[in-house]
Amino acid sequence: MTISPNSKNTVAIPRKYGLELITVQDTSGSLTIQQEDFARSRLLLVPKKFLISPFFAASPQAGERKVTVGNFHFHIGGFNPLNPNSHPPALDVRHARLLFSLLSCRQNSDDNTQLVRFSFNQICQLYANSNGGRYSRAIRSLFDNLVTAFIRITEIDTGIARTYRLIERVAIEERPIRRKDAKLATSGQMEMWFNSCTLSKEFADLLGKAEELQHLRFDVFNSIRAPLAQAIYLYIPSRAHHCTEAKPFEIGLTTLLRQVSSTVPMHKSRRKELFTKNRNSILKQLDGLKTLNGVFRVRLTETNSGDDYKLQAWEERKQHKSNLFTRKSALIDDWVASGHTLEELEQRLAQVEPMSEYEIDLLEKAAVRLEGNEPFFRMAKAMLGTARFAELLAEAKGDEIEGRVAKKNPTARLIWRVRTAIKSQKVTLSAGDKGLDN
């Protein structure tokens, strides 16, 4: 497969856990939470290649998958370079949900190394908003797949290939059953506790490269029930980002289903039915989903030849003028001096997202004062692009951790670096800021 490139009350939830300020209403002496987004991190940084390609299959796989995206060829599962007789399955959207849950734990921790600490109950809650036995068993099986499945990434122009796993090991602890009245308490059976996992060095290094990462609306992804709709949401919004209702992105259903490794019905009517049947159809699950910059829209129409249906997708962009643009700022002077226009800046400010949990966490660890400076940093993010902005925040965090003393203070040092970057470099959007963040 080849793919071309009304309440006065608020509750403060700690950002460390990926939660947000929520508004609550006092009802008969009790507080009722009204905002639904408080339980999970809203934005999650994941590798770009997970979002610009059908990296994760829509259904469970029995063997390997091969995907080519631009200059890279991916061989996912189906082989083990250390054991030719081992054929672990390729990864699908269930593995994506588990992997993203782990990355959420890592992103909200104080230690962005290979080690990811978590409780099994925490993972079950992130994965399925449940800690029921069925999900526990399923998650154990998915952990096994993530530990055993290898990925080979080949650069087509050089022929150089690298092979590694995403997770190297999972730390498991066995303990006697705690409930003495349980039937199994006298059976000798032990309780299994998951404490952490270790990412492979290659995968951890990738997660440390801001230019290789994009934001995913993890809350939206986890709200989708159908695996096929999940696979499409991971992949197609990156293709539809710059498209409009008048000029949508188009892909035939046969091609789309093959790309996400889903069964392709033989008849055209059955392929349409796959997307439209049931009250909560695939099409209804996808249409209206939030993206970083707007709303994902989809519809079906017949192909010109009439032998298939095609999915048309586009993004309804947020139409608002940022109040940041009305502020007097030296940054705007720097922007114009670097050769850019105010019209371009206005467009970028209309699209830029508020500071993410990841970016706020970097600023906190860098001892940079956000209060009073958030408009500045948000404007800088729009000018530099998400990837370059994150690089500067990571540098500031490194300065603080390594004890490098600033002439004035860490905040002033970072502001100086931001202004220097805008004045001295030709500012261009990275691929992720051109619409590949979904």
Show pLDDT as tens, one digit a residue, over the chain (438 residues): 545 443 333 333 333 333 333 333 333 333 332 333 333 347 888 998 999 999 999 999 999 999 988 889 999 999 999 999 999 999 999 999 999 999 988 876 656 688 998 888 888 888 887 765 677 788 889 999 999 999 999 999 999 999 999 999 998 877 676 655 555 445 556 566 778 899 999 999 998 887 788 889 999 999 999 999 999 999 999 999 889 899 999 999 999 999 999 999 999 999 999 999 988 999 999 999 998 778 999 999 999 999 999 999 999 876 555 555 555 678 788 878 777 777 777 777 776 777 777 888 888 888 888 888 888 888 888 888 888 888 888 888 988 888 888 888 888 898 888 888 888 765 444 444 443 344
Longest dimension (CA), the chain: 76
Instruction: Report the SS3 class of residue 198.
Output: strand
Give me 332's structure tokens.
């705007």
Q: Residue 198: what pLDDT?
A: 93
CB 434 within 8 A of CB 211: no
Q: How many CB atoms lie within 10 A of CB 8?
A: 8
Q: Residue 192: what pLDDT?
A: 64
Instruction: Give the closest residue to 32 by CA, choosing from 65, 59, 7.
Output: 7
Query: How far is it, in rounded angstroms, from Cα 355 to Cα 214?
Result: 14
Whether CATH 1.10.10 fits 226-317: yes
Instruction: Give the closest residue to 122 by CA, choosing from 98, 141, 93, 94.
Output: 98
Q: How many CB atoms lie within 10 A of CB 177?
A: 16
Rg (CA), the chain: 23
Q: What is the DSSP letter of 418?
A: H
Query: How far is it, in rounded angstroms, from Cα 82 to Cα 65?
Result: 19
Residues 6+ apart with CB under 8 A from 425: 338
HEC profile of 121-189: HHHHHHHHCCCCHHHHHHHHHHHHHHHHCEEEEEECCCCCEEEEECEEEEEEEEEECCCCCCHHHHCCC
Q: Residue 337: what pLDDT?
A: 78
Predicted structure pTM score: 0.70
Q: Residue 19: what pLDDT?
A: 32
Q: Residue 22: what pLDDT?
A: 31
Q: Residue 164: what pLDDT?
A: 95
CB 309 within 8 A of CB 356: no
Task: Assign 3-state DSSP to the chain and report helix, strand, coil percentages, each to 5.
Answer: 40, 20, 35
Instruction: Report the SS3 class of residue 86.
Output: coil
Q: Residue 189: what pLDDT?
A: 60
DSSP for 209-236, please give it: -GGGEEEEEHHHHHH--SHHHHHHHHHH
Q: CB pairs under 8 A, 24+ apart, for 263-269?
A: 263/59, 268/307, 268/308, 268/309
Instruction: Report the SS3 class of residue 37.
Output: helix
Domain-wise residue ranges, the chain:
6-38, 44-216, 226-317, 323-434
Query: How far is it, in rounded angstroms, from Cα 260 to Cα 252?
Result: 13
Q: Residue 14: what pLDDT?
A: 34
Distance between first and last Cα of the chain: 22
